[in-house]
Structure 1
Amino acid sequence: MRYGMHPQQTAAEAAPVHPGRPPLKVLGGVPSYINWLDALNAWQLVREAAAVLGVPAATSFKHVSPAGAALAGPVDEAVARLHGVDPATVGPLTSAYLRARDGDPKSSYGDFAAVSHEVDAELAELLGRVVCDGIVAPGYAPGVADALSRKKNGTFLVMEADPDFTAPAAESREVFGLRLSQERDPVPLSDEVIADVVTGEVPAASRRDLLLGLVVLRRTRSNAVCFLKDGMALGFVSDGSLPFRDNVDHARRHLVTCIAEPGGSIRSDEVEAACRAHGIALARTGLRLFHH
Structure 2
Amino acid sequence: MIRAAAKNHGFVAVVTDTGDYDALLQELDANAGATGYRFRQKLALNAYARTAAYDAAVSNWLATTLDVTPRRTAVAGTLAQTLRYGENPHQSAAFYTDGQARAGVATAVQHQGKELSYNNINDTDAAVELVAEFDPKNGPACVIVKHANPCGVSQAASLVEAYQAAFQCDQTSAFGGIIALNQTLDGPTATEICKIFTEVVIAPNADEEAKQIFAQKKNLRLLTMGALPDVTAASQTIRQVSGGYLVQDKDTGQILPSDLKVVTKRAPTAQELQDLLFAWKVAKHVKSNAIVYVKDGATVGIGAGQMSRVDSTRIAARKAQDMAEVLGLEAPLTQGSVVASDAFFPFADGLITAFEAGATALIQPGGSMRDDEVIAAADAAGLAMVFTGMRHFRH
TM-score where L is the length of structure 1: 0.84
Instruction: Output one character per residue of 1:204-245: Cα deviation in whole Å (capped at 9) or x when no partner.
Output: 211121111111111111211111111111112233262112
What's the counterpart of residue 159 of structure 1? 223
Q: Report the residue type matching 2:295 in the other structure.
A: K
- 1:150 shift after superposition: 4.3
SS in 2 for 1:6: coil
SS in 1 for 2:346: coil
Specify which structure has the higher proportion of helix.
2
- 1:45 shift after superposition: 1.0
RMSD (Å), alpha carbons:
2.1
Structure 2, unaligned runs of 5 or more: 1-82, 310-343
- How many aligned positions are there? 269
Find the structure with the greater CA-based Rg. Answer: 2
What's the counterpart of residue 70 of structure 1? 154
What's the counterpart of residue 160 of structure 2? 94
Q: Report the residue type matching 2:90 in the other structure.
A: Q
| Residues in 2 aligned to 1:111 and 1:282: alpha-carbon distance in whole angstroms | 33
| Residues in 2 aligned to 1:188 and 1:58: alpha-carbon distance in whole angstroms | 20
Structure 1, unaligned runs of 5 or more: 74-91
What's the counterpart of residue 140 of structure 1? 206
8 Å CA contact retained: 1:23, 1:162 = no
| Residues in 2 aligned to 1:131 and 1:266: alpha-carbon distance in whole angstroms | 46
| Residues in 2 aligned to 1:33 and 1:149: alpha-carbon distance in whole angstroms | 23
More deviation in 157-166 or 222-231? 157-166
What's the counterpart of residue 126 of structure 2? 41
8 Å CA contact retained: 2:191, 2:213 = no
| Residues in 1 aligned to 2:275 and 2:102: alpha-carbon distance in whole angstroms | 34
SS in 2 for 1:187: coil
Assess, with a 3 A threshold, how the Cα gap between structure 1 residues 164 and 224 changes in structure 2: closer, same or farther.
closer
| Residues in 1 aligned to 2:93 and 2:180: alpha-carbon distance in whole angstroms | 23
Q: 2:354 aligns with which of 251, 258, 261?
A: 251
Matched, 1:169 2:235: yes
Q: Report the residue type matching 2:180 in the other structure.
A: A
SS in 2 for 1:45: helix
SS in 2 for 1:226: strand
SS in 2 for 1:97: helix
Matched, 1:109 2:191: no
What's the counterpart of residue 227 of structure 1? 293
Identity %: 30
- 1:164 shift after superposition: 5.2
| Residues in 2 aligned to 1:260 and 1:18: alpha-carbon distance in whole angstroms | 37
Q: Report the residue type matching 1:48 in the other structure.
A: E
Q: Report the residue type matching 1:156 in the other structure.
A: L
- 1:20 shift after superposition: 6.2
| Residues in 2 aligned to 1:21 and 1:231: alpha-carbon distance in whole angstroms | 27
- 1:189 shift after superposition: 3.1
Matched, 1:58 2:139: no
| Residues in 2 aligned to 1:54 and 1:2: alpha-carbon distance in whole angstroms | 39
SS in 2 for 1:283: strand
| Residues in 2 aligned to 1:127 and 1:253: alpha-carbon distance in whole angstroms | 34
8 Å CA contact retained: 2:178, 2:198 = yes
| Residues in 2 aligned to 1:123 and 1:262: alpha-carbon distance in whole angstroms | 36
More deviation in 111-120 or 16-25? 16-25
| Residues in 2 aligned to 1:175 and 1:34: alpha-carbon distance in whole angstroms | 20
Assess, with a 3 A threshold, how the Cα gap between structure 1 residues 45 and 264 changes in structure 2: closer, same or farther.
same
- 1:14 shift after superposition: 1.8
Q: Report the residue type matching 1:287 in the other structure.
A: M
8 Å CA contact retained: 1:60, 1:68 = yes
SS in 2 for 1:14: strand
TM-score where L is the length of structure 2: 0.63
SS in 1 for 2:273: helix
- 1:15 shift after superposition: 2.3
What's the counterpart of residue 275 of structure 1? 378
What's the counterpart of residue 207 of structure 1? 273
Assess, with a 3 A threshold, how the Cα gap between structure 1 residues 38 and 265 changes in structure 2: closer, same or farther.
same
Q: Report the residue type matching 1:185 in the other structure.
A: D
